Structure 1
Amino acid sequence: MQTHEIRERFTDHFVKAGHTAVPSASLILEDPDLLFVNAGMVPFKPYFLGQQNPPYPNGTATSIQKCVRTLDIEEVGVTTRHNTFFQMAGNFSFGAYFKEGAISHAWNLLTGSLADGGYGLDPERLWVTVYLDDDEAAEIWEKKIGVPAGRIQRLGMADNYWSMGVPGPCGPCSEIYYDRGPEHGEEGGPAVDDTRYLEIWNLVFMEKERGEGTGKDSFEIVGDLPKKNIDTGMGVERVAAILQGVDNVYETDLLRPVIDTAEQVTGAKYGAEHASDVRFRVIADHSRTGMMLILDGVTPSNEGRGYILRRLLRRIVRSARLLGATGETLERFMTVIMDTMTPSYPEIADSRERIIRVAVTEERAFLKTLESGTHRFDEAAAKTRDTGAKTFSGEEAFTLHDTYGFPIDLTLEMAAEAGLDVDVAGFEAAMGEQRARAKADNKAKKHGHADESVYREWVDNSPTQFVGFSELTADARVIGLVADGVSVTQAGAGDDVEVILDVSPMYAEAGGQLGDRGRIVTDGTVLDVTDVQKIGKRLWVHKATVLSGGLDLGQAVKVEVDPDWRHGATQAHTATHLVHAALRQVLGPTAVQAGSLNRPGYLRFDFNYTEQLTPAQLEEIALITNQAVDSNLAVNTIETSLEEAKKMGAMALFGENYGSEVRVVEIGGPFSIELCGGTHVGSSSQIGPVAVLGESSVGSGARRIEAYSGMDSFRHFSKEAALASGLAASLKSPTEELPERISQLTEKLKAAEKEIANLHRQQLAAQGGELLNQAVEAGKFTVLTHRLPDGVSGGDLRTVATDLRGRLAGKPGVVVLAAADGDKLPFIVGATKEAVELGVKSGDLVTLLSGYVDGRGGGKADMAQGSGANPAGLDAGFHAVREELAGR
């Protein structure tokens, strides 16, 4: 049974049982605890905590959630059970049914016949575990389902009590295991051997809320959840391995094709030896995880989610090279994994080009880094041999790992080729210190679920009615006041307070658009509202200062949006849609939105793209955007279902968890169609001019466009015009001729600078005779080592070195020059033909000198250059060069 069918049978089973099918959320959600969604219940957390009422008719739902867990990336492939990406099929009940319902649903699907839509598993091969004191669950399994008592085992908190690892929902659980047979381990059930007995489904009876604590079993239970809930998770990949009759998840229809491709690319064979098999599994696992992360908008970077993606992609490249690959590999791996995953995730088809572009760009950058790391290794290995040692430093091995991305196995292999051992213990010690720092940092960043309990009652029972799409003022009643995180009944002049209203025309910050500014007024009372935030997507919290009078709970008030603020914000937000549409026209569909910010008169738009935009592209984007403004395109909003919106071609934002009903903003028919909950102008001409300021990089594979809209755009253009007029007056040239006039002046300046540089080089060359007087004899060689005055560039060094080497022609001479140039120390080594014939290699001398000045470099035997960062080591480096030559 193919994985796609396994997914379909799961969803059909629970839909027939009255559950609402919920699409997988993005791997990226706004959650303070998580880099990525790591469990099927994460998108439903507000319902479990009681912060929101679930929008499902029967109080039940089912989903197949994309998940990524990256705590133990190094363990991937070492065993065959661990994946960084996996699909968690789950069913959820928010007070509708509890233990018996969850157990019955799972058992019926697993053991039901294929003809009836089940998986057809042999019930005699299924074992279950329950929490130590959960007699209720044990009795349901034995009395209601018929599982023999001998196949029901009780385990402790570490195994059968579930939580997210941070404060939040938790509860005892019951796990279902499949006996894979005696060839996989010893008898005795999962309590004895959880390799033979493979866990396939976890049923969590979520009824408690946990507090702070560490580990799986050392936290406090702080209370009951509002309702007894069910959260289950069935591992799709593990069930696929069982139903497809293969040994592990890497042999299934989703991952085995990548391994087959890796065999073709590398020439190695899967199954030949454990070390190679680990590398094959790393390639397969990380290719899928990397592809899914790119699909959901992640781009490689040096922090957060982007760092995880970068690390995964580089591990693929390293593993492929260690298996024998010599060229680029990621495009082939990504193509295969997209083919296997598209049946379950059709949206991949629209992102294939973008996914390949991001992956290949990262691979090419890493291959250059790999080259630099190899150079660092060669230098360190040479130093090791020069000292007579046979062991490569563990600290140096860690530097290669941490700075250059070298895995220890690559360093071990290269060291063996160089005739060296590696201080693995020293490397592990350095790695241990890094892990401890990372663990402490990670612990510091885990805050648990933000305490929003003070708002819970209003979220559940009195959500705010937003009327701001059509109104800028509204009559409302104060239904809540919060000060310093505590519910209060009144606020006086000078107080900062959060005001909760039953009705509000003020937009709460979302989708990149900042919250509205405005006032809340009543007889003798004025509050200045400086921000509006949304709690649980249902409650508007107005952050305000009481300017005069006082406010009481239950008081009737008038709410007024600052019309200028709203006008400017709607102009900027609608302009963002136009810029996005123009961007995709110019760059193609691979330029996908990665974030935005809109405030009155200004917009910032981030998008996934790997190349810097040209001036011509920017000009075209600005032209298309302003043509759309000039065309007075109608701006329409449509309330519809998520499925209908997708059929319309509406684009969705990464990281947003959309409900079943969505709002589509359509501008000019097909020109721009996006899912958006923001406020917008009535027609595009109301935006006014849009001034595209430029674009910049915000990380690997991510770019940013900034622009002004409306009057801010007009003011920008006015300043630019004034600047141009001022330049025209200064240069005594008409404005339209400024580019040519400035170009002429620039050419004159370059010519003057070139003439000065020539004079400078002539002056340096004239000093050559004096410098040669400082040359010394070192064995068979005449050697000149000299530091020239600061500010001499690398190019000038080469000119002087070439001249001095020519003056030494006819005898074995070596010239070594250096000069501080800003924060760099360029240096050069030149050798005469006679010196080269005696075995001198300028590149080797550059490498030797580099070690003393924290530098690097290279070149040919007769001339080589480098650059360092530590001028203090120069004299010692010069001495080392002379000693090296004297000893020949």
Structure 2
Amino acid sequence: MKNIGLNEIRKEFFDFFKEKNHLILPSFSLVPKDDKSLLLINAGMAPMKPYFTGLKTPPGKRVVTCQKCVRTVDIENVGKTDRHGTFFEMLGNFSFGDYFKEDAIKWAWEFITERMEVSKELIWVSIYKDDEEAYKIWNEKINVPEDRIVRLDKEDNFWELELGPCGPCSEIYIDRGEEYGCGKPDCKPGCECDRYVEVWNLVFSQYDKDENGNYNLLPKPNIDTGMGLERMAMVMENAKNIFEVKQINEVLKEVERVSKVSYGKDSEKDKSIRVITDHARAITFMVSDGILPSNEGRGYVLRRLIRRASRHGKLLNIQGKFLSKIAEKVIELWKEQYPEIEKEKNRIFRIIDGEEEKFYETINQGLEILDQYISDMRSENKNILDGKKAFKLYDTYGFPFDLTKEILKERGYTADEIQFNREMEEQRERARSARGGSENNIWGTGDFSLKIDGDKTVFKGYETFTSPGVVEKIIKGNEFVGSLHDGEEGIVVLNQTPFYGEGGGQVGDTGILSKDGFESFVLNTKKDKEGHIFHYIKVKKGVLNVGDDLTAEVDEKRRKDIMRNHSATHLLHRALKNVLGEHVNQAGSLVLPDRLRFDFTHFESISKEQLAKIEEIVNEKIFEGLKVDTAVTSYDESKKMKAVALFEDKYSDKVRVVQMGSYTTELCGGTHVRNTNDIGIFKILNETSIASGIRRIEAITGRSAYQYLKELDEEIDNIANIVKGNRNNITERIKGIVEENRQKDKEVEKLMGKMALSLKDDIIKNSHEIKGINVLTYYIENMDINSLRNLGDEIKNSIVSGVIVLASSLDGKLSFVSMVTKDLIDKGLHAGKIIKEVSQCTGGGGGGRPDMAQAGGKDINKVNQALNLVYDIIEKQLK
């Protein structure tokens, strides 16, 4: 057989199937698109499911890909064996209703025997036990001997995911020789040993498995094949395992270089090297595809892999962050096939570094606590860690439960997972209770249970602020009623309305409902999932009855403010992507009349320059006067328009697309301006982190921005008056005042220093002796910590031996300084421990080195009591 590696095999595969009229497609993202049944793409066919089921039209009837994949079902075994991995590449050729079994088998045989030059005598195949058609093709047309065709059960040779396309399959094995075998005379494919390596799986997709477990025949059968690229390279290079495949081994060597640990000399260290080698590839590609570390979903998978690799780096004694160095090697080796990882390398490094830093902040403390738990279990002769303790590690110290389980398993222990999950659920329940139990309740009370019948409310608010309407339902308290009277409050449902019901981050409208002799204020507007819009009203005058015709009038000025802010969020979203990267996605929003709030995914703080650029871009698009177009279309059509769909929501057949020129296109049911000029101006007020990987921008537009600038203008005038200047020289006046104060501070500091020196002799004269040790304690008013420390140094330089503890208060702040001469450190005295106890007496805290320490206090009334403690503390330390 040829001796070729990963890149050459991939190229040969593409070339071969291109000759067979297959369209070469680039790898899909690891993030599944429109498929909530998968967390990550875990097989070459996974992104193809819509083509197999007929939901989408494939770009060609014959397709060939090399798909990046991540599987984490065996993550605990990664590193323990030299076979398991999380990231791999899957070569595959696909037929969508075109060729079927015979061509798939014939071409697979041709590729393996002619292109890869594998000896026919080394090839075995397996088939599903009842697939006679496949047997005849292999035996009668390909001439594989009967004794090298193995029939296997459904669990081995029937390919299926949880749902979707599936069918019998046929696997191709290569015999690697007796040295890899188990020695059993009946050893053949299906045996657990490493002699027969399955390199290619040919799946004959004939069925579509539904949610009820039924296997429905597909209108046209399809072909889905998968060849593990790493596994094929292992065979072609005659490597013992995937970690010895040349290209992957280059990554392993980088781990050796960084860790200064040689592979193959210590089984435990080998395990750690394998974990890092494997996880580095998965981490690099996951981040490249826009996944960010988080505590749920695929973000949690990424976080888990980074933290697992980091921990194994710690076991190899690697100091500090290192994973980005390994990722850099991965990028160097795979960038030719996957140029996106080279393009995203700086972001990849920043995200990995940031997550490692977070992990190091928690892991040391968590490991110490877990070690203590294990010690306690050992002494108590227990082998299961209490689930409450495991949850405390997770909840209080941020220590991943998976890592707790893994470490316990290494030491021969387990964790009470049932109790852990119970604690987790109780925490979630507490969080739900804290939110008042009404997060999904449109009524704002927990006891409303009435069902609204009838058609959904027709929303007229896209075109007008005023429209007629007929009262269909009136609700008061928890009951349907026939009318509302003067001063009463209730909920009104109309057949049609211009009032926008709160949703998509946009708040509900306010305004007036009126008719002859009746008027009411609309205090808020909400809607339910069936599309009924609810007007929360207070009757100003008259009576309202079910069936009445009335006029619904939105507060136009308020609504226009909301529209400006909502349209600005769309411009902001696109600007964030332009400046920070395409990984940015909306994570929440709130659109109010006076401001907007926009939450988004991002892994690090935003620089002042980046924030200024984002604000500049949004304002540029406002000033360009982009036309805002809306259209109702099918969800599939909206995707062709490249509309951004938020939150991976399940959308209905008809969606509303909002386009602002050619700059941004998003799905949105909210109300918007007609032209970006209408927004006026956009001003960012604040940017901050609200959770790991989630940041928030608060901003204003239109009238609020004008009011903000007006108030800023007034504030500048006020400052100018205070500093006795004017708008033209205000900066210079402030600089002058700052410089004057700096000079005065220097003078004060000199005076404080002189005062300190004048006190030195008095403090030394009033020293006390305890057990032959010279102890100096003193309280001085109105001295800052720097002057206090300088005074301590002067005293220390003037005495041969002793302990000095000084205290001072300035502007209500209490400070302590402690110093110990070198000869007394050798006797066991420690300035840091002395100051810690002294400051705690006053409700403060601090510490430091054995020779010098400082601390803060709170209760000035206890300062003398605290200084008197020094003598007892010294006695204890001497013992």
- Range of TM-score over shorter length: 0.5 to 0.7
Do the aligned residues in 1 keep the contact of 2:254 with 2:326 (CA within 8 Å)? yes
Q: 1:736 to 1:232 in 2, by over 3 A?
A: farther
Secondary structure at the counterpart of residue 54 of structure 1: coil
**Match of 1:357?**
350
Distance 2:545 2:624 in 1: 49
Which residue number in structure 2 is paired with residue 26 of structure 1? 31
SS of 1:125's equivalent? strand
For the 8 Å contact 1:611–1:701, the answer to whether it is kept is no
Query: 1:690, CA displacement in angstroms?
Result: 0.9
Name whichever of 261-270 and 357-366 sits farther off. Answer: 357-366
Please show how residues 280-299 of structure 1 align to structure 2 within 5 Å.
Answer: 280-299=273-292
The aligned residue for residue 230 of structure 2 is 240
**SS of residue in 2 equivalent to 1:704:** strand
Conserved? CA contact 2:839–2:846, under 8 Å:
yes
Deviation at 1:559, TM superposition (A): 13
Cα shift readout 1:473-508 (whole Å, capped 9, x = no counterpart): 9999xxxx9x9xxxxxxx99999999999xx99999
Q: Which amino acid aligns with 2:153?
A: Q
Q: Which residue of 2 aligns with 1:711?
A: 703
Matched AA of 2:253: D
Match of 2:689 among 687, 693, 697: 697
Residues of 2 paired with 1:550 and 1:444: CA distance? 45
RCO comparison, higher one (Cα < 8 Å, 6+): 1
Equivalent residue number for residue 193 of structure 1: 192
Cα distance in 2 for residues equivalent to 1:581 and 1:436: 45
Alpha carbons 1:793, 1:821 under 8 Å: kept: yes
Counterpart pick for 1:608 among 588, 602, 609: 602
> What SS does the corresponding residue of 1:151 show, helix, strand or coil?
strand
Q: 1:832 aligns with which of 821, 843, 846?
A: 821
**SS of residue matched to 1:313:** helix
Q: What is the Cα deviation at residue 151 of structure 1?
A: 2.4
| 2:90 pairs with 1:78 | no
Contact 2:597 2:696 (C-alpha < 8 Å) held by counterparts:
yes
**Cα shift at 1:279:** 2.0
CA distance in 1, matches of 2:751, 2:254: 57
Partner letter of residue 290 of structure 2? Answer: G
1:89-134 deviations in whole A, cap 9, x for unaligned?
Answer: 88999xx99xxx999499638834229999999795333568xxxx
Q: Is the 8 A contact 2:628 2:660 kept in 1?
A: yes
1:458-477 equivalence runs, <5 A: none
Question: What SS does the aligned partner of 1:830 have?
Answer: strand
Shift of 1:26: 2.5
Amino acid at match of 1:241: R
| Residue 883 (structure 1) shift | 5.4
* Structure number, greater radius of gyration: 2
CA-CA distance at 1:241 after TM superposition = 1.0
Determine whether 1:274 maps to 2:267.
Answer: yes
Q: Distance in 2 between matches of 1:777 and 1:283?
A: 58
Q: What displacement does 1:604 show?
A: 3.9
Q: Distance in 1 between matches of 2:393 and 2:615?
A: 45
Corresponding position of 1:54? 55
Is 2:118 the counterpart of 1:125?
Answer: no
After superposition, the Cα gap between the structure-2 partners of 1:124 and 1:836, relative to the gap in structure 1 and judged at 3 Å, is closer
Instruction: Tell me which amino acid in the other structure corresponds to 2:31.
Output: S
State the Cα deviation string for residues 20-42 of structure 1 (Å, max 9, x = none): 999446369895x9865667888
**SS, match of residue 114 in structure 1:** helix
- Taking a change above 3 Å as real, the CA distance of residues 709 and 426 of structure 1, as seen in their structure-2 partners, is same
Query: In 2, are the aligned partners of 1:160 and 1:172 still within 8 Å (CA)?
Result: yes
Q: What does the per-residue CA deviation read over 1:526-556, in whole Å, with 9 as the maximum and x for residues that have no partner? A: 9x995679x9xxxx955556998889xxxxx
- In the alignment, structure 1 segments of 5+ residues that lack a partner are 131-136, 164-168, 211-220, 385-393, 412-422, 447-461, 484-490, 552-557
User: How far apart are the structure 1 equivalents of 2:128 and 2:289?
Assistant: 36
For residue 704 of structure 2, what is the amino acid of its counterpart?
A: D
Residue 285 of structure 2 aligns with an amino acid whose one-letter code is: M
For the 8 Å contact 1:518–1:530, the answer to whether it is kept is no
The count of aligned residue pairs is 783
Shift of 1:319: 3.6
Deviation at 1:334, TM superposition (A): 2.0
Following superposition, the deviation at residue 78 of structure 1 comes to 1.6
1:884 offset after TM fit, Å?
A: 6.7
5 Å-filtered alignment, 1:848-867, equals 858-859=848-849, 862-864=851-853
Q: Deviations over 1:634-691 (max 9, x none)?
A: 568999999999999x897897699999979564x7xx46666687655432321112
**Residue range with higher mean Cα deviation, 731-740 or 627-636:** 731-740
Structure 2, unaligned stretches of length 5 or more? 1-5, 376-384, 430-454, 476-481, 538-543
Is 1:886 paired with 2:869?
no
Q: Please report how far the alpha carbon of residue 810 of structure 1 lies from its aligned counterpart in structure 2 after TM superposition.
A: 1.8
Decide whether the 8 Å contact of 1:87 with 1:235 is kept in 2.
no
Q: Quote the residue 2:105 is aligned against.
A: 108
**For 2:228, what is the secondary structure of its paired residue?**
helix
> Counterpart amino acid of 1:125?
W
Aligned counterpart, 1:432: 415
Range with greater deviation from structure 2 (115-124 or 621-630): 115-124
How do residues 8-47 of structure 1 correspond to structure 2 at under 5 angstroms? 23-24=28-29, 26=31
Counterpart in the other structure of 2:209:
207
Give distance in 2, aligned partners of 1:560 and 1:112: 74
Deviation string, structure 1 residues 253-292 (Cα, Å, up to 9, x no partner): 7643322322333343333433232222222222222223
Equivalence for 1:622: 615
* Cα pair distance change 1:266/1:638, threshold 3 Å: farther
Q: Distance in 2 between matches of 1:710 and 1:519?
A: 24
Distance 1:108 1:262 in 2: 40
For the 8 Å contact 1:783–1:882, the answer to whether it is kept is no
Kept in 1, the 8 Å contact 2:44–2:92? The answer is: yes
Deviation at 1:857, TM superposition (A): 5.4
Aligned to 1:414: none
Summarize the alignment of residues 134-213 of structure 1 with structure 2, pairs less than 5 Å apart: 151-153=151-153, 163=162, 169=163, 179=173, 181=175, 182=178, 183-185=180-182, 193=192, 207-209=209-211
| d(CA) in 1 for partners of 2:240, 2:492 | 61
- Once the two structures are superposed, residues 741-793 of structure 1 have per-residue CA deviations (whole angstroms, 9 ceiling, x without a partner) of 66777778886899599879969995996799685534x64456x79799998
2:604 aligned partner, one-letter code: T
Residues 316-367 of structure 1, C-alpha deviations (whole Å, 9 max, x = no match): 4454465465575334322232344445544334322222233344456666
**CA-atom RMSD in angstroms:** 7.5
1:273-672 correspondence runs (5 A) = 273-300=266-293, 308-320=301-313, 322-323=315-316, 325=318, 329-363=322-356, 432-433=415-416, 437=420, 441=424, 530=525, 541=531, 544=534, 571-576=564-569, 578-579=571-572, 592-593=584-585, 595=587, 597=589, 599=591, 602-605=595-598, 606=600, 608=602, 610-614=604-608, 618-633=611-626, 665=659, 667=661, 672=663
| Aligned residue number for residue 253 of structure 2 | 260
Tell me the SS of whatever aligns to 2:263: coil
Residue identity in the other structure for 2:819: G
Indicate whether 1:814 and 2:803 are aligned.
yes
Correspondence 1:630-779 to 2 at 5 A? 630-633=623-626, 665=659, 667=661, 672=663, 681=673, 683-699=675-691, 703-724=695-716, 734=726, 775=768, 777-778=770-771
- The 2-side partners of 1:663 and 1:89 are apart by 37
> Is residue 4–residue 343 contact of structure 1 (8 Å, CA) maintained in 2?
no
CA contact (8 A) 2:233 2:245 kept: no
How far residue 740 of structure 1 moved from its aligned partner, in angstroms, is 6.0
* Distance in 1 of aligned mates of 2:197 and 2:425: 33
Q: Which amino acid aligns with 2:108?
A: T
Q: Distance in 2 between matches of 1:106 and 1:865?
A: 81
Contact conserved, 2:123 with 2:174, CA < 8 A, in 1?
no
TM-superposed deviation, 1:82: 3.4
Alpha-carbon distance in 1 for matches of 2:693, 2:606:
10
Relative to structure 1, the CA distance from residue 355 to residue 699 in structure 2 (aligned partners, 3 Å threshold; closer, same or farther) is: farther
Contact 2:763 2:778 in 1 (8 A): no
Is residue 683–residue 699 contact of structure 2 (8 Å, CA) maintained in 1? yes
Tell me if the contact between 1:208 and 1:225 (Cα under 8 Å) persists in the aligned partners.
yes
